[in-house]
Chain A
Amino acid sequence: MQPLAIRAYTATTALGRGRDAQADALRERRSGLRRNDFGKDPLDTWIGRVDGLEAAALPAAQAPWDCRNNRLAWLALQQDGVIDAVETLKRRHGADRIAVVLGTSTASIGATEEAYERLDAENRFPADLARPRVHTPHSLGGFVLEALRLDGPCVTVATACSSSAKVFAQASRLIDAGLADAALVGGVDTLCGSVLFGFNSLELVSAQPCRPFDAARNGLSLGEAGGFAVLERAAAGESGLQLRGYGESSDAHHMSAPHPEGLGAQLAMRDALARAGIDAAQVGYLNLHGTATPANDTIEAHAVAALFPSTLHASSTKGWTGHTLGAAGIVESVFALLALERGLLPGILNSGAPDPNNGPQIRFGNAEREIDYAMNNSFGFGGNNCSLVFGRA
């Protein structure tokens, strides 16, 4: 792949809005998790909730797209110069040459759930929610394309928790194939009954704030987030942050349990390193998928130990944000880019007793140092894996 310049990037999570809010909380080791206060009958768990979504509004012309997920999409787009970067690219290349590739796992399903709670006597959706396009997975992509007046290829990727990492790979291919000159990538997922009660049905939700890679970890904390990055072909000789490689694979094992030896995870990481043309030893920071479920973390730690030297600083940041599902890929890519840009290598929050299965790569404490490459792992249901490599030119 050609290196892609990152013209803008941002995340909005339970830690706040935009990059500085993320970096400050990571540096200060301040979690965004709170006791679950979502919905009318909350499960006993902790969540990463974004404040202010209930009062957020879409542009008047896009009011038919209104729902919690699209409100978070719009809020996240307002941060860190993303819209300005898109406008600049639109003038440079034309609106039809900018791809929109966004990831989500549940899209606007929260709006569908609400409609089912308020069905009328004929079992029909209430009038205020009888807006078909909100009740389908492409609600996110459709809204963003229209709100930003873009006209290029537009896709919503929905591969569960790897969704908004895979958008970087798909955008890279669209640009390499000449179908676009630039891309807006990212992802949004919001809290809803489907994920809270769904993960609860799998007995994967912890009653405490999640503790990734801790010996006594007992499940995940769910969160919501949105994030975006603006990608363009890098010019020869220019400096700045870049996407250098991606790797994708399948576990071929189980719908909701990872491959016991982490073979799929290893394949994705090896493929990303190969595409970036670097050795594992050159990676300075790896943001792990690290959901804090017993199986996931053991297998990921094993896969990382099989590939990387003990000098690698690897961590899961789920203790700060919760597991933001289809948005995890973009949020944790933003954390990897912050590590590259600011030399801020987060550790792990809430965890105190390392699992004896952890390799020396898994670090609980923060570190600060300059690095050349940062990597991000995102693994989803269906055994769907994606790893990304970012570098600095």
Chain B
Amino acid sequence: MLSASIEGIGFWSNGLPSWQAARDFARDGTLPEGAPARPSPQLLPPNERRRAPDTVAVALDVALAACQAAGRDPKTLPSVFASTHGDLGITDYMAATLASDPRAISPIRFHNSVHNAAAGYWTIGAGCMAPTTAISSFDASFAQGLLEALAQLAAGSEAVLLVGYDSAATGALTSVWSSTGLLGGALLLSAPRSGALRLGASLAAGEPPPARGPLARRAGGNAMAPMLPLFDALALDAPHTADSVILKAGPGRVLRVELADA
């Protein structure tokens, strides 16, 4: 089994704009008043903050929150960005513009259309020259990102930032994808040490059970929802309430995640 310590957590979903808000909601159903409609990632300069695609905004917001919770400098951290679709709004823009007037493609929208846009803006904003990657694995994207982060720790990295995020389907894409809302979650993982919450993970055959936690019920329409059983368990103090969390890890495969106080 691979293992790590969870030093920091970041979270953003519509109406729950922080990990504290998510925990409060999971525990007693409280919703914060006046939650912003969109994250405002402080790592970007103000003009870029407004212009950033939704996926970049949410990924950078939760990534920075996880680093701050851990007291870690983002500049030094390798990172793994997992997203099922990248930015569906930009995919819709690119495909629609190509169908109508291909020579009118916006150069900024084009470079923002790459799957590693969030990873790129993160390293640029943080001034981080450590490696970053951007992966997808359909509904197993978060579990495969967690495996890659744990493998990086096993290969000698002292700490790794893991970010999962997806946005809402728009335009004609809604006829094939039903992803709704904006969702991001981040974990700052480090080599196991005492005094921090411990996570262990192993692959197995099987399918995850239906997700019934409060965050999964609230934000389950988003394509990154398969990560929510883990965030629900973390919000509900899993070391004392659950033996393990089962995440979708591929066709007929699951990642069994165990949480314990260390």
A interface residue numbers (CB < 8 A to B): 1, 41, 96, 105, 109, 112-113, 115-117, 119, 123-125, 130-133, 135-138, 141-142, 145-146, 151, 153-160, 166, 170, 173-174, 176-179, 193-194, 197-203, 248-256, 263-264, 267, 380-384
Contact = CB atoms under 8 A, between A and B. Distances in A.
A384 B132 CA distance: 7
Interface of B: 2, 83-86, 91, 94-96, 98-99, 102-103, 105-107, 110-117, 119-121, 123-124, 126-138, 140-141, 144, 147-148, 150-152, 154-155, 171-173, 175-177, 203, 205, 249-253
A250 B123 contact: yes
Contact of B148 (A135, A155, A198): A155
Contact of B141 (A138, A153, A248, A251): A138
Contacts of B99: 113, 116-117, 119
A243 to B, nearest CB: 14
A85 to B, nearest CB: 22
A116 B123 contact: no
B253 A384 contact: no
A145 B115 contact: no
Given A133-B138, A248-B131, A145 B123 contact: no
Nearest to A382: B120
Contact of A174 (B110, B132, B147): B147
A256 B111 CA distance: 7
A201 B129 contact: no
Contacts of A170: 133, 148, 151
Contacts of B138: 133, 136, 138, 142
Contacts, number: 222
A69 B140 CA distance: 21
A228 to B, nearest CB: 18
B155 A177 contact: yes
B91 A112 contact: yes
Contact of B128 (A123, A176, A194, A250): A250
Nearest to B152: A173
B119 A382 contact: yes
A125 B175 contact: yes
A166 B171 CA distance: 33
Contacts of A380: 114, 116
A146 B249 CA distance: 14
Contacts of B172: 115-116, 119, 123-125
A138 B96 contact: no
A201 B106 contact: yes
Contact of B137 (A154, A197, A200): A154
